[in-house]
Structure 1
Amino acid sequence: MNVKEMAKRAKEVSYKLTDISTEIKNRTLKKAAELLRERKELIEKENQKDLIAGEEKGLSKAMLDRLLLNEKRINGMIQVLNDVASLNDPVGEIIKMWKRPNGIKIGKMRVPLGVVGIIYESRPNVTVEAASLCIKSSNAVILKGGSEAINSNRILVNILKEAATSEGFPEEAIQFIDTTERLAVKEMLQLDEYIDVIIPRGGEGLIRFVAENARMPVIKHYKGVCHVFVDEFADLEKAWNICFNAKVQRPGVCNAMETMLVHSNISDAFMPTMIEMFKKAKVELRGCERALQYDPKYIKPATEDDWYAEYLDLILAVKIVDSLDEAIDHINTYGSHHSDAIVTENYTNGMKFLNRVDSAAVYINASTRFTDGNVFGLGAEMGISTDKIHVRGPMGLEDLTIPKYIIFGDGQIRE
């Protein structure tokens, strides 16, 4: 089946999905979870094919880490399916209702977006996350994973389709572009007649290509240049732990810290211990002139490009600033509007940071690593949007619906 035919079938079935009961949708998700549990070994076997091929192609450690499906990550996918099944079904929910002087009642009701296309690199768990959310929100989904994960994605889609068929959910609502040809992506982006929205997940190059070539709306974030600002009123123990976690816990993901900003009034107390912690973790530091003085042999001079960089690796840019305003201006200038944090015990400074930092997720005294749909209690996410229309931040179940006006009359006509 070619891409256009897939999209056409997805569109046709999408009109019928609102008739599917919540019970059937939940049974489908729970059945998929059962099948994943039963076929762990098979999934790992197929994933191993992709990992071996990825190593031969010279994929980076960060890319191979995203590609990996071990028992922990398969259990995570199982948990996602069960979590999404436990969420309230947003489809058909009446958001509000009001009555006009002529007696007409007007309301807003949540309805599915329709057909959601998702184009993603490396991470095969996205297959399960995206499909689970689309199933529960009564959207058809077209999945286009990267060539590096073709075997992993194929087995996961087969399991999802099997679960759908067994529980009465239309398997045509789960479409998978089973090819490594890049031309398939170009064709997909032209099918605005059938695909209502495209969500790209991957590197900045992929996202820019999709945004520049898609004929339908795109929900995206280009990159994750996330910051942690250590305020002059920070608790040092909190600051050390938060900064270390934000950089080191999993450096190859979009919500990892890429630049650390430190107030000059606390830098003498904060920097020496922080540098030693990063040294032990083998984090390469690139600092401004003032940061260099704390360890000129270890810290490399930062360039202008470093402030814009998404390293996705154990590399960190460090800048000493003289005020909260300077930190906020730096984040709004160089950041990607993804996730940024302040460490402070000063309420006024914390609230000023929350209000003025123009990002999808803004934190006080917590690691940026929490920006994740599942962690936020959304069950899963389609991606993290830094756009400002329709959705911003982790895109969860409700964000796959939009309001539709519904009107109840009793014979009224307009004069």
Structure 2
Amino acid sequence: MSVSEKYKVLKHTFGFSDFREMQEEAVDAILSGRDLAMLLPTGGGKSLCYQLPTLLMEGITIVVSPLIALMHDQVIALKELGIEAEMISSSQSSQEQQEAFTKAKNGILKLLYIAPERLANGSFLSWLTTLDINFFVIDEAHCISEWGHEFRDDYRRLGELRSSFAHTPIAAFTATATQKVREDILSQLRLHEPLILRAPVLRKNITISVRERDSGWRNDLMNILKEHEGESGIVYAFSRKETEELAEFLSKKGIKCLAYHAGMSGSLRHDTHQSFLNDETQIIVATVAFGMGIDKGDIRFVIHTSLPKTIENYYQEIGRAGRDGIDSEAVLFYSGADFHNKKRLIDEGSDPQYREMILAKLRSSMDYATAEECRHRLIAS
């Protein structure tokens, strides 16, 4: 493959004249058949790093992702670009799943998205061995580590891919991971001499500020929203009850606003999501259930009304602002009570094996909120 072919696909398929930072290194690693581990902040163009090279290679790419909504959006976007892609998930009918199986088996697809639990099925794993797979993609790779902020048991099985596909390259991607989590990703996936790419964590177009949440904090919130009048934003609240109360408060102030939380029906969450994407709703007031996989570049602000559980969570959540590169804002309101409320939930519901680790992360969040030094640098450390 010549360099010109790579840039031709970049331009004619994806509409870009140049790669973003570290994208080209990632693409070249995959094209050379090398394992890859990449930390690329939200909005850094991760998907292109694996979608482009598969178009220049024989065979199909298997993308493992824990986010059904994101897989769905990715498949739709790829089809709009004229790229053959499908997903296999529990959200589909048996007919839809069978159509995806048939396309993959007949060599029509370039990308097939699957959830990690699929790989626990022996017959599915055997079926994968019948395909001409050029490489695997492990998205949200931090989920493989018990030290990460979103550990999932299903991800632990991904290391078994090396047993069935000893010579098939693996590309692992995450938007946020500590040094310990990065080491765990390499170990658990059994990556062989991977190229390790870590893009700068600092997002220069996001202005970060922290304010103490006192009795007049809603007035401060309204002043922030006036500065962003007519712009899209997310307000993260602590509980389902708070999302509904705050959304009602803002709606009465004349703001196009909806609540979003895991207690709502799937259809209502979907409609709310689409309303936000289509700019019919300006602001979503949500628990952290909202945001994973959102593909909306013009979110101008992300506001938290209480202390985040972890710095990693917080960084990923504020990273949903300004993905188009335009100046955006992240504001955190906190109080001393936040720490005690979240600690109580951890004490009541967390696995004792991980309780101290989770508490340590919460303490780091409180240290961040009360710090006097540059908060961008605290997040990046």
- TM-score range relative to shorter protein: 0.3 to 0.5
Q: Which structure is larger by alpha-carbon Rg, 1 or 2?
A: 1
Query: Which structure would you say has the larger RCO, counting Cα contacts within 8 Å and 6 or more residues apart?
Result: 1
Q: TM-score, normalised by structure 2?
A: 0.32
